[in-house]
Structure 1
Amino acid sequence: MNNTTRAAVATAAIGALLIPLAGCGNTAASSGKTELTVWSWDTSIDRAAEAFMKANPDITVKVSNVGSTEETYTALNNAAQAGNGLPDVTLIEYLAIPQFVHSGTLMDLSKVYDTAKLKDTFTPGTWSSVNINGGLYAMPADSGPMAYFYNKDVFYQAGVNEPPTTWDEFYEDAKKIRATGSYITSDSGDAGLFNAMMWAMGGHAYTLDGEKLTIDITGDKGAQRFMDLWQKMRDEDLIDVHTKTWTDDWMKSLGDSSVASLISGAWMANNLLQGVPQATGKFRVALLPTVDGTPINGEYGGSGLAIAKDVADGKLEAAKKFVEYVTTNDEGIDARVSNGSFPATTKTLNQEDFLAKITLRNADGSDNEFFGGQKYNEVFSQAAKDVTGKWEFLPFEPYARSIYTDDMGPFFSGKTDLKTAAAKWQKAMKDYAEDQGFIVR
């Protein structure tokens, strides 16, 4: 699902001259014929590639979908180990980038781009996610600032006229909504949500300094805040812990009002439209609640475009141009945003037509006021501005998430408390990290 739960990048001394970032329409063709291979699970990259080739007829871009995000990362690992078969450019989630930094798969783009000029182009959360150990390992292609999606009808029925602004209000609202027979939200064991909530609550559980890795869920303030809240709500039967996320039953629960709201990335808007069209007009969006009302937020999903470390010299300029077009060019960005991706550029987030949007796009291309005429991007844009850049992903984040339910599952089934389960998950990550050669602190 766009960016949810879906390696990476190494330094390469490329003695190439920096070319300027492409503005709208600034896509001068390179000499000769060049063919680029691009891997992407997101079909909006195909549309951006079509627009790029019209502006650059001497460059052919072949986009391949090699499967889900997990399958893409497996294919990247296999190709890297085999020494051939890597794409020239690949879409990669922010969460997976550190894994490929460690494996040395992708190019350090700080060698070919002026990072000082790029910094203010992107939102703080996305920019921090692609800058690792002093290198730039992807260009932000989209983002997932966390937002609160709520069923206004259910809230009104429960006597809640406004969405919660603090987590204390969220808890009180949950009790009122439960009294009507609905749950305020659901979580059956989502590692992406756990990490995003740590981030949004001011946490910084992971730190990587070379081979020295800190894993501190049990002591992280953001993790403690989230676990205290979730434990209380689990104990009082205020969250649905049985309906598995991303299943048909989960979508049904949102559509029939069994679950009244969800915490997710801004990209969730189009997934709601596609998954629960019967709820059109009922849902609204709001900023995520905070601890004390002070603006703070985290990212839940998002991805960047990276260039393979060993891309052929003759393809590097074309690869740079394509990545620039998709991530910084107005036409390239619009080709993706108009098809459901949420932008990572501050310029796009501040454009009047973007902020004024009140409709989503149906599969047939028609407009749909899913959020009842609300200017939803005004909320999402502010949510992106509130994201703190103080977060790092593990250098084996996909693996850590794959074992999440092994240790955290007993909490959701009621067999143990959340902090005990989290301590076991932390130990499993620590043991794995040491097996991989990291010095864990």
Structure 2
Amino acid sequence: MNNTTRAVIATAAIGALLIPLAGCGNTTTSSGKTELTVWSWDTSINRAAKSFMKANPDITVKVSNVGQPNETYTALNNAAQAGSGLPDVTLIEYLAIPQFVHSDTLMDLSKVYDTAKLKDTFTPGTWNSVNINGGLYAMPADSGPMAYFYDKDVFDKAGISEPPATWDEFYEDAKKIRATGSYITSDSGDGGLFNAMMWAMGGHAYKLNDDKLTINITKDKGAQRFMDLWQKMRDEDLIDVHTKSWTDDWMKSLGGGSIASLISGAWMANNLLQGVPQATGKFRVALLPTIDGTPINGEYGGSGLAIAKKIPDGKLDAAKKFVEYVTTNDEGIDARVSNGSFPATTKTLNQKDFLTRTTLKNTDGSDNEFFGGQKYNEIFSQAAKDVTGKWEFLPFEPYARSIYGDSMGSFFEGKTSFRTAADNWQKALKDYAKDQGFTVQ
């Protein structure tokens, strides 16, 4: 399973757990090379680093895995507070960038890159996610435009010839699929999915202006649309609320057809191949349903490469070159895309060989027509173009997701309404924000 994408769901709060930190080290090695320390839980960064060092023999890149995203953020937080031990470059999910901007840990890259030239290099959703308060705090490395993955065999069995184009059609299809004994999808309480759906339904519940933070989940139109749909489906037993994501049972349910579809980021393609190989040839990809047929979408996952604000002066040029190579150079991008990452650059998304691809890669490098020969990247590319840039993450997003189940669990257990549960979550978020020194609106 791809570490980057799996960890999006597993992201937890930044705690006080102390993790051994890798120091920045000397600016140069004994051989006279500049040495960069890079933190990444995603092994595709290692592949890109090897490619980079071949093209730049004067720079040594040491990639360290200090843990999954939540553990990486704990380590970053510890190092920032200690005043030493930060990596020169780190992979960081878009959802966590605001937190480390607020703690003054990341460099504003608009001081070292020409942002006017870079803007059109990346998809709107990813570019928006790294631009905060007028600064550029990471370069988009991969993306997660939302898409709809469905089991064609189950849909055929239910008499459904086409995937749903709107959420109303999704609801009607759910009833037909439930009549066959399957569920159209599952959700046992995922804060990442909640925010992604809120985004995809035109929501914008969070806004930060200096230390003034707006949290408006319960009155946000996108959140209301999602909660009303999920409430109706929960009441009518049209959604599996018991099977937890990323468990063996979940994988078996997807592979066996008892869960007929999945709402996720484009990165999910390789996870399905690795997690449910028994479903090879059965699944297809479609654009996410919309409110009324008007194109709109959100992001679910994705990460960028950031440079530490306190990087030694002698390393900045090398770090800048490495980050630029991984995120904008064709060789650097291919080193990651070929390993399962989904690109964030518009050029890659429009390349013919990318758009016409019909196979995924098995772990042994062989081709696999998991999606039945479908040109799946054509769908993903359009999905990326449909993402609205009007979205902001909370400046403590990892923590917010870690406590999502504390409030929302009552809804999935059938004890309260979705709106009541969301109101409780919102209260908890506001209380936490105040404790962190924010003026909450």
What CA deviation, in whole Å up to 9, does each residue of 1:95-148 have, x standing for no partner?
000000110111010111111111100000000000001100000000000000
Return the alpha-carbon distance in structure 2 between the equivalents of residues 66 and 235 of structure 1. 43
The code of the aligned residue for 1:429 comes to L
Return the alpha-carbon distance in structure 1 between the equivalents of residues 87 and 68 of structure 2. 16
What CA deviation, in whole Å up to 9, does each residue of 1:182-225 have, x standing for no partner?
00000000000000000000000000000000000011000000
- The residue aligned with 2:4 is 2
The code of the aligned residue for 2:4 comes to N
Return the alpha-carbon distance in structure 1 between the equivalents of residues 342 and 422 of structure 2. 31
The code of the aligned residue for 1:435 comes to D
Return the alpha-carbon distance in structure 2 between the equivalents of residues 251 and 49 of structure 1. 32
The code of the aligned residue for 1:69 comes to P
What secondary structure, in the 3-state scheme, does the structure 1 residue paired with 2:273 have?
Answer: helix
- The residue aligned with 2:234 is 234
Deviation at 1:32, TM superposition (A): 5.0
Deviation at 1:33, TM superposition (A): 1.2
How do 1:27-38 residues align onto structure 2 when only pairs under 5 Å count? 33-38=33-38
The code of the aligned residue for 1:95 comes to L
How do 1:196-345 residues align onto structure 2 when only pairs under 5 Å count? 196-345=196-345
- The residue aligned with 2:398 is 398
- The residue aligned with 2:180 is 180
What CA deviation, in whole Å up to 9, does each residue of 1:66-111 have, x standing for no partner?
1111000000001111111110000000000000011011101011
What secondary structure, in the 3-state scheme, does the structure 2 residue paired with 1:150 have?
Answer: strand
Return the alpha-carbon distance in structure 2 between the equivalents of residues 412 and 120 of structure 1. 41
What CA deviation, in whole Å up to 9, does each residue of 1:19-46 have, x standing for no partner?
xxxxxxxxxxxx9510100000000000
- The residue aligned with 2:24 is none
The code of the aligned residue for 1:353 comes to D
Return the alpha-carbon distance in structure 2 between the equivalents of residues 416 and 221 of structure 1. 20
- The residue aligned with 1:352 is 352
Return the alpha-carbon distance in structure 2 between the equivalents of residues 425 and 116 of structure 1. 39
What CA deviation, in whole Å up to 9, does each residue of 1:291-311 have, x standing for no partner?
000000000000000000110
- The residue aligned with 2:28 is none
- The residue aligned with 1:371 is 371
Return the alpha-carbon distance in structure 2 between the equivalents of residues 332 and 397 of structure 1. 29
What secondary structure, in the 3-state scheme, does the structure 2 residue paired with 1:294 have?
Answer: coil
Return the alpha-carbon distance in structure 1 between the equivalents of residues 246 and 131 of structure 2. 30
The code of the aligned residue for 1:78 comes to N
Return the alpha-carbon distance in structure 2 between the equivalents of residues 280 and 44 of structure 1. 24
Alignment of 1:436 onto 2:436: yes
The code of the aligned residue for 2:229 comes to L
Return the alpha-carbon distance in structure 2 between the equivalents of residues 372 and 357 of structure 1. 12
How do 1:399-438 residues align onto structure 2 when only pairs under 5 Å count? 399-438=399-438
The code of the aligned residue for 1:329 comes to N
- The residue aligned with 1:96 is 96
Return the alpha-carbon distance in structure 2 between the equivalents of residues 313 and 269 of structure 1. 40
The code of the aligned residue for 2:73 comes to Y
The code of the aligned residue for 1:155 comes to F
Deviation at 1:406, TM superposition (A): 0.2
Return the alpha-carbon distance in structure 1 between the equivalents of residues 60 and 376 of structure 2. 36
Return the alpha-carbon distance in structure 2 between the equivalents of residues 80 and 365 of structure 1. 40
How do 1:7-86 residues align onto structure 2 when only pairs under 5 Å count? 33-86=33-86
What CA deviation, in whole Å up to 9, does each residue of 1:295-346 have, x standing for no partner?
0000000000000011011100000000000000000000000110000000
- The residue aligned with 1:387 is 387
What CA deviation, in whole Å up to 9, does each residue of 1:253-278 have, x standing for no partner?
10111100000000000000000000
What secondary structure, in the 3-state scheme, does the structure 2 residue paired with 1:285 have?
Answer: strand
Return the alpha-carbon distance in structure 2 between the equivalents of residues 86 and 299 of structure 1. 28
The code of the aligned residue for 2:217 comes to I
Gaps of 5+ in 1: 9-30
What secondary structure, in the 3-state scheme, does the structure 2 residue paired with 1:207 have?
Answer: strand
Return the alpha-carbon distance in structure 2 between the equivalents of residues 416 and 376 of structure 1. 39
Return the alpha-carbon distance in structure 1 between the equivalents of residues 85 and 435 of structure 2. 28
What secondary structure, in the 3-state scheme, does the structure 2 residue paired with 1:48 have?
Answer: helix
RMSD (CA atoms)? 1.2
- The residue aligned with 1:26 is none
Gaps of 5+ in 2: 15-30
What secondary structure, in the 3-state scheme, does the structure 1 residue paired with 2:4 have?
Answer: coil
- The residue aligned with 2:26 is none
* Identity over aligned pairs, percent: 86
Return the alpha-carbon distance in structure 1 between the equivalents of residues 37 and 363 of structure 2. 27
Alignment of 1:159 onto 2:162: no
What CA deviation, in whole Å up to 9, does each residue of 1:152-180 have, x standing for no partner?
00000000010000000000000000000
Return the alpha-carbon distance in structure 1 between the equivalents of residues 116 and 185 of structure 2. 41
Return the alpha-carbon distance in structure 2 between the equivalents of residues 305 and 247 of structure 1. 29
Return the alpha-carbon distance in structure 2 between the equivalents of residues 87 and 177 of structure 1. 49
Return the alpha-carbon distance in structure 2 between the equivalents of residues 106 and 202 of structure 1. 29
The code of the aligned residue for 1:34 comes to T
What secondary structure, in the 3-state scheme, does the structure 2 residue paired with 1:186 have?
Answer: coil
The code of the aligned residue for 2:113 comes to Y
